[in-house]
Structure 1
Amino acid sequence: MVTASGFTHTPATRFLLTLLISLSLGASILSLKPYLPLKPTPHLWPYLQLWRITTFQLAYTSSTELLFAAAILYQMRVLERVWGTRKLASFVVSCYGLCMVGVVGLGLVVKVLSGGWWGYVPAGPSSVVIAVVAVWRREVPRLGGFKVLLGGDEREERDASTARGLELSDKWTVYVLASQLALSQFPFGLLHAAVGWLVGSAWTEELVPGGLVRWRVPAWVVGEDARYKSGRGQFEGLRRRLQEEDRDGMREVTTGGMAAANPSQDERRGFLGGVGRYFTSGS
């Protein structure tokens, strides 16, 4: 398990967090919040504002949902270290499209089945975040856990291994945050959670259509050139830096050897020369 802290080796996660927070704050400052949520009626019919289908996942209108989503994405940086930046970026792009189609399609079905009562899709990429959690649950192993005792006699409490209790893993905090995100704007937020969990589970089982599991974004999108794409030059920067350090080290050794072979006049004078230089340096 990679133990690097912060956003080390996770440029995609850092970019996604920065973009999500910036767009959400920008929408709030510019008073664009009314344009983010999606209502089949009247946005899709009769106004025909089809552009809302592609933009309702860009930003949040609620600071609470933004906080939960940002905290979850920060925990998902471990998935980028396991997968790599390019694979994670490809997954997020694919999930954005799949969740967009799934949320809108399922929303229309629920609207028809509910007799027109269900007619609101909250703004924000909650479905994409939940999909990342579903994949993270399968790809990242648990590191530990603990048990919450539910009560019992003194003999059972002494032996925690046999006592009745609820066993929790070290991932429980992410699950709590995901639950809070799904229950935000209840019950409409459940639509995002259901679609996101289905898309993430289908991705892990390679059930998504069109071979999206094997599709990757272009290398230049994540800052990889042709050398990195073909596997050559992957350690070129490290090799060049080591060569420069070797040259600097040899230069220091050579300079030190020359200084030792040719001591200055003050150094040849010894102790008395140093005392005299001390009293004459201020004049």
Structure 2
Amino acid sequence: MVTSSGFTSAPVTRALLTLLVSSSIGASVLSIKHYLPLKPVPHLWPYLQLWRILTFQLAYTTSTEVLFSAALIYQLRVLERMWGSRKFASFVVASYGLCWWGYIPSGMTGIVVALVAVWRNEMPKLGGFKILLDDDPEKVRAGTARGIEFTDKWTAYLLTAQLALSQFPYGLLPASVGWVVGSAWAEELVPGGIVRWRVPAWTVGEDSRAKRSGQRQYEGLRRRLEEENQDGMREVTEGMARGAPGQNDTRSFVGGLGRYFTSS
């Protein structure tokens, strides 16, 4: 299977990961980590610090959470490649609003776990392994031995569990809210207007005119490839028609095929 490396075709994921790491480091360097957690009492009442609703998910207060969250965001970049940057960014923004009441501790736990829940539904299982609990050789050979099966997604689930338990028991609430939001989004159980909503195209670097120009460019490339294929097959046919019976037919056919596959 061919996969793209790094952040190829995933600019929103790169921006999200950069924001997470830089804001967490900045909060630590500036010694403002105590402003990050959100508690309804007394932050929202009686102090009315409503700005905390918008800022508490921007950074983590521990390096462990930063590491686990960053690893998960990088692994989940395949969602952006599959959905497109605009839909991916729209989901992140919607999750940011739907997970706000998952307070304490600060950080993107709700958003990251919501992405994991969607990724679980969208991405197929590609493989896995089984840890055998039965050492009977006959059962092992027959494939009936008892054991615990793991899919290729087990590393993401492990990181998600560690992220949710990093500040036990407080991290369980935002993780649970994120899982519910992501699962509801994947099953289209949230209001249809939220699922269909998209951020403006310019926020993810998309331009309608540039997109149409790119489509015309690819259309021209497709036509050139089709013409080259037709010319190559015509050479194969003509070579077979000109060749003499027997060995010359084979040579003409092979030569025509060689020109077909090596033509630029």
TM-score, length-scaled by structure 1: 0.74
Pairing 1:25-104 to 2, within 5 Å after superposition: 25-100=25-100, 102-103=101-102
Count of matched residue positions in the alignment of Structure 1 and Structure 2: 222
Report the equivalent of 2:112.
129
Which stretches in structure 2 are left out of the alignment for 5+ residues? 223-264
Match of 2:123 among 136, 140, 160: 140
Q: Distance in 1 between matches of 2:7 and 2:109?
A: 22
User: How far did 1:21 drift?
Assistant: 0.4
Q: Percent identity?
A: 66
- Aligned residue for 1:163, secondary structure, equals coil
1:11 paired with 2:8, answer no
Pairing 1:172-211 to 2, within 5 Å after superposition: 172-209=154-191, 211=193
User: How large is the Cα RMSD of the aligned pairs?
Assistant: 2.0
User: How far did 1:124 drift?
Assistant: 0.3
Q: Distance in 2 between matches of 1:2 and 1:178?
A: 26
Q: Distance in 2 between matches of 1:134 and 1:166?
A: 22
Provide, for residues 36-85 of structure 1, a one-character-per-residue CA deviation record: whole Å limited to 9, x for no partner.
00122221222221111111101000100010000000100111111111
Give the residue type in structure 1 aligned to 2:102.
V
Q: Distance in 2 between matches of 1:85 and 1:221?
A: 10
Report the equivalent of 2:253.
none
Q: Distance in 1 between matches of 2:22 and 2:208?
A: 31
User: How far did 1:234 drift?
Assistant: 2.9
Q: Distance in 1 between matches of 2:42 and 2:2?
A: 49
Report the equivalent of 1:250.
none
Q: Which structure has the greater CA radius of gyration? A: 1
Provide, for residues 106-128 of structure 1, a one-character-per-residue CA deviation record: whole Å limited to 9, x for no partner.
xxxxxxxxxxxxxxx10001000
Q: Distance in 2 between matches of 1:2 and 1:203?
A: 28
TM-score, length-scaled by structure 2: 0.79
